[in-house]
Amino acid sequence: MAVLRARTRPALTRLRPRALALALVALLAALVFALVADSGGLGWQRVLAEIVAQLTGGTSPLSEREAAIVWELRLPRVLLAGLVGAALAGAGAAFQGVFRNPLADPYLLGAAAGAGMAATVVVVFAPAVTGWLIGPLPLAAFAGALGGVGLSWLLGRSAGGSGTATLLLAGVAVTAFLTAIQTFVQQLNTDTIKQVYTWTLGGLNVTGWHDVWIALPYIALAAIVLCACARLLDVLTLGDAEAASLGIRPGLVRLVLLAAASLATAAAVAVSGLIGFVGIVVPHIVRLLAGASYRVIMPLALIGGAVFLILADFVARTVLPGELPLGVVTAFAGAPFFAVVLRTNKERAA
């Protein structure tokens, strides 16, 4: 309930430099930790020595193959985990603000269902292609995610103007419809179930620099737009009438925010599959720890999401002899942590 109360009466504060610095230090620490630590293959001292050697031009203890592990596999994977985490958490914060609903997440308007349907169709029908600049699966997932949200938006607008309740219901309908198509296509081609299942659970185990360059422009653009619109999001929480009296067009603000958030989500889904829970839990943790203003939440959610997913992916690739789906880690680690933060916050408020 603390969340809800905080949301209806936001404390309009600015982001304190100390909080931002703390978040950036945490991000840097997570990056270095995930790059250096492993389950015993290379040894963290040798990886550190390799990094130092690269920076200073000295000699490295790693072989060519081991160096490729660090620079061609691990570094892009860690960076991509950060990008995807930032995208999902930032988008989640935007969705929660736009819908004024603490349960909103980036997949609310059919992004996941659209991406899932498009991915399934590609896995089932598209021939195995190689050598494309962007593979057919990420391309389809990206287009599907944007298509799903676009469909919800069109349906919501044609049904009831710029209100959020209609849009929410349109999202429910579109999600159900696209999921039905996905399941239908899947049932006709049960031999591809494992491929689709693997994609659905999300993961970064076959990541290269290529994926980082694909996702970076969209996520960076979306992050800038979301941070720039954070103040407008704060105004929106006062209600549409209040916002309009301040000279803001609520419908337009919502459209821009949802478009930016969906762009980030689509880019994340395209390179990592469906990773749940980041978009819903990270903004709430930030809100509980740092304040309810979106000028605070948005930048910290972007950074916090990156930290959270970098660490989750580290667990996903080291805890088992094989890979653990990233979606499993985010929910398993995120849910209890969220519960603790929720409890602590309640005690502090009481």
128/241 with CB nearer other proteins: 128
207/262 with CB nearer other proteins: 207
103/319 with CB nearer other proteins: 319
CA 85 vs. chain centroid, Å, equals 4
Q: Should residue 179 be labelled a site residue for other proteins when binding is judged by CB under 8 A?
A: no
Q: Which of residues 108-127 bind other proteins (CB under 8 A)?
A: 127
41/336 with CB nearer other proteins: 41
Residue from 1, 55, 57, 130 touching other proteins (CB under 8 A): that is 130
Pair of tokens at residue 49: 């020595």
Output the CA torsion sign for 331, 334, 336, 341: negative
Residue 65-104 contact track with other proteins, rule CB under 8 A, x = bound? xx-xx--xxx-xx---------------------------
* Least distance CB 118 / other proteins (angstroms): 18
In angstroms, the Cα distances linking 134 to 58, 62, 79, 124, 211 are: 36, 31, 18, 18, 9
Question: Residue holding tokens 């469909």?
Answer: 151
15/81 with CB nearer other proteins: 81
* Least distance CB 222 / other proteins (angstroms): 25
Residue from 11, 16, 41, 52 touching other proteins (CB under 8 A): that is 41
103/180 with CB nearer other proteins: 180
Which of 229, 220, 307 shows the shortest CA–CA distance to 264? 220
Q: Should residue 320 be labelled a site residue for other proteins when binding is judged by CB under 8 A?
A: yes
Which of 287, 295, 300, 220 shows the shortest CA–CA distance to 260? 220
Pair of tokens at residue 84: 């995807």
* Least distance CB 349 / other proteins (angstroms): 43
Q: Should residue 132 be labelled a site residue for other proteins when binding is judged by CB under 8 A?
A: no
Is the separation of the CB atoms in 216 and 83 below 8 Å? yes
Output the CA torsion sign for 263, 269, 274, 278: negative
Q: Should residue 58 be labelled a site residue for other proteins when binding is judged by CB under 8 A?
A: no
Q: Should residue 38 be labelled a site residue for other proteins when binding is judged by CB under 8 A?
A: yes
Stretch that binds other proteins, among 90-98, 201-209, 228-236, 292-300 (CB under 8 A): 201-209
Q: CB count, 10 Å around CB of 276?
A: 21
Stretch that binds other proteins, among 52-60, 192-200, 238-246, 298-306 (CB under 8 A): 192-200
Integer Cα distance of 178 and 113 in angstroms: 6
147 SS3 class: helix
* Least distance CB 234 / other proteins (angstroms): 42
Residue from 27, 35, 42, 292 touching other proteins (CB under 8 A): that is 42
Q: Should residue 205 be labelled a site residue for other proteins when binding is judged by CB under 8 A?
A: yes
Q: What's phi and psi for 207, nearest 5 deg?
A: -110, 140
Q: What's phi and psi for 231, nearest 5 deg?
A: -65, -40
* Least distance CB 38 / other proteins (angstroms): 8
CA 24 vs. chain centroid, Å, equals 18
Residue from 59, 187, 246, 348 touching other proteins (CB under 8 A): that is 187
Where do the H-state alpha helices sit in the chain? 2-8, 17-36, 44-56, 64-68, 75-99, 111-125, 136-160, 164-188, 193-201, 209-228, 230-236, 240-245, 250-272, 278-290, 294-318, 326-349
Q: Should residue 323 be labelled a site residue for other proteins when binding is judged by CB under 8 A?
A: yes
240/323 with CB nearer other proteins: 323
179/205 with CB nearer other proteins: 205
Please give the residue ranges that form the binding site for other proteins (CB under 8 A): 38, 41-42, 64-66, 68-69, 72-74, 76-77, 127-130, 187, 190-191, 193-195, 198-199, 203, 205-210, 317, 320-323
